[in-house]
Amino acid sequence: MYTQGLDSPGREALHASSPDTAALEARFQARVDADEKIEPKDWMPEGYRQTLIRQISQHAHSEVVGMLPEGNWITRAPTLRRKAVLIAKVQDEGGHGMYLYSAAETLGISRDQMMAQLLSGAAKYSSIFNYPTPTWADVGAIGWLVDGAAIMNQIPICRCSYGPYARAMVRICREESFHQRQGFEIMMTLARGTPEQRRMAQDALNRWWWPALMMFGPSDAESRHTAQSMRWKIKRFTNDELRQQFVDITVPQARFLGLEIPDPHLRWDEASQHYVFGPIDWAEFQQVLKGNGPCNRERLEARRRAYEQGRWVREAALAHAEKQRQRAAQAA
């Protein structure tokens, strides 16, 4: 839907390398400042295009790799209802990946290029999906915390300056909100269950809490892209602002569940009206980004295998499209 007519550059794009570039940049920034949406054929600075390609493609990879930790539980979900809901959720994540790859394609990168970047390890995907899911409670914790963090980060992207990304996020956020509630409901069932089930829920919270906080990215002081992305209104809040909002909303939810956040430094600060939380282990975050998290190798291996196993489907679809094209040409 997004890629129609993109091979013919917009009128302004033809002049992009002219001496008027500074004027084009000023006009572009004025449109962003006025909250106008930038569309695929509009002129845009190369840095804006590359930042969006990086962020949207990494976001798409995260959705697709993010199917794996929960997918691990589809065959072992405790009831038929849980299984049906989990299949639907995991399928939604695959759909989010597809919308996002389409949105990235409008910026001039192909699906094949993005796949190559993921499979070679050149492109990142969210650190959170490199952690294992050893118990059913992890499915609850992912929905509650990981989808919860994803929504916190993604609702502002519905107002991103780039039209196709912003529009894709509207539907994605609606679905993520259903995912968050199903996760919280699993946690509630476990927290109100037997002592063993309560222990499982607490153990999952202990393992997912800190990685969920890391999902928001490095601290503002360390974030290399935030300042420029805020000027371009790709990001509307900084990493630390969103992390704080997530903590403020999630701590009362944990209390409601009767679970304890695994942070001895956590306290409510009356003056700032925020929770103060303990230091994040950024060395662990950096290790996961370097490919040394608990499941990095396994995740990429699974994606490489899926890509190889799907090769015949891609080839068959292309052959079918070519046959259709030839038939249409003969009929014309």
Please give the residue ranges that form the binding site for ligand FAQ (CB under 6 A). 54-55, 58-59, 62-63, 66, 93, 124, 126-127, 142, 146-147, 150, 153-154, 214-218, 223-226, 229, 235, 239, 289
Q: Which is nearer to ligand FAQ, 26 or 227 (CB)?
A: 227
Token couple for 223: 């974030």
How far is it, in rounded angstroms, from Cα 253 to Cα 188? 10
Q: How far is the CB of 251 from ligand FAQ (least distance, A)?
A: 20
Which residue has the closest beta carbon to ligand FAQ?
66
- Of the pair 230, 317, the CB lying nearest ligand FAQ is at 230
CA gap 244, 275 in Å, rounded: 8
The nearer residue to ligand FAQ, 64 or 261, going by C-beta atoms, is: 64
Tell me the closest approach of the beta carbon of residue 291 to ligand FAQ, in angstroms: 11
Which residues fall within 8 angstroms of residue 36, CB to CB, at 6 or more apart?
A: 161
CA distances in angstroms from 100 to 10, 92, 97, 206, 262, listed in the order given? 22, 12, 5, 31, 34
Shortest Å, Cβ 54 to ligand FAQ: 5
Q: How far is the CB of 55 from ligand FAQ (least distance, A)?
A: 4
Nearest CB to ligand FAQ, comparing residues 106 and 126: 126
Q: In angstroms, what is the minimal distance from the CB of 62 to ligand FAQ? A: 4
Return the number of the residue (193 or 291) whose C-beta is nearest ligand FAQ. 291
How is the chain split among helix, strand and coil, in percent rounded to 5?
Answer: 70, 0, 30
Classify residue 143 by its DSSP letter: I
Between CA 37 and CA 40 the distance in angstroms is 10
CB of 33 to ligand FAQ, least distance (A): 19
**Alpha helix (H) ranges present in 7-75?**
21-33, 46-65, 67-71
**SS3 track for 67-127:** HHHHHCCHHHCCCHHHHHHHHHHHHHHHHHHHHHHHHHHCCCCCHHHHHHHHHHCCCCCCH
CA distance 105 to 3: 7
Q: Compute the least distance from the CB of residue 276 to ligand FAQ, in Å.
A: 22
Amino acid at 160: C
Q: Which is nearer to ligand FAQ, 40 or 148 (CB)?
A: 148
d(CA 27, CA 184): 46
Is 164 or 217 the residue whose CB approaches ligand FAQ more closely?
217
